[in-house]
Amino acid sequence: MYIGCMAQQTTQRENRETLGGRLARLRKEQGLTQIELGAKTDLSQVLISDYERGRLQPSPDTLIKMANALEWRPMSFSASKVNQPAGASQA
């Protein structure tokens, strides 16, 4: 019962997470600094910081670059699709 409760809390947290917050979390999970992510994506540390803080929104192409660098599917950045398997259609 405890594990199910924790999984539900994690899902609720992910659904409330902003795009910038998700980018920061994924970057940290990969053990990357903003500078290292910038080197992998040809983006500046300042720009990555602005994305993470929600000051700017990345373009779709930039989002794909970042997702590839973070080894994450781009659809995972969308809160409504975070737990949806690849290839599944949206309801």
The Cα–Cα gap between 46 and 17 comes to 21
Q: How much helix, strand and coil, in percent to the nearest 5, is found in the chain?
A: 65, 0, 35
Say whether pLDDT at 88 is over 50: no
Question: Count of CB atoms within 10 A of residue 65's CB?
Answer: 18
Residue with more model confidence, 56 or 84: 56
CATH class of 16-71: mainly alpha
Matching residue, tokens 């994690």: 10
pTM beyond 0.75, yes or no: no
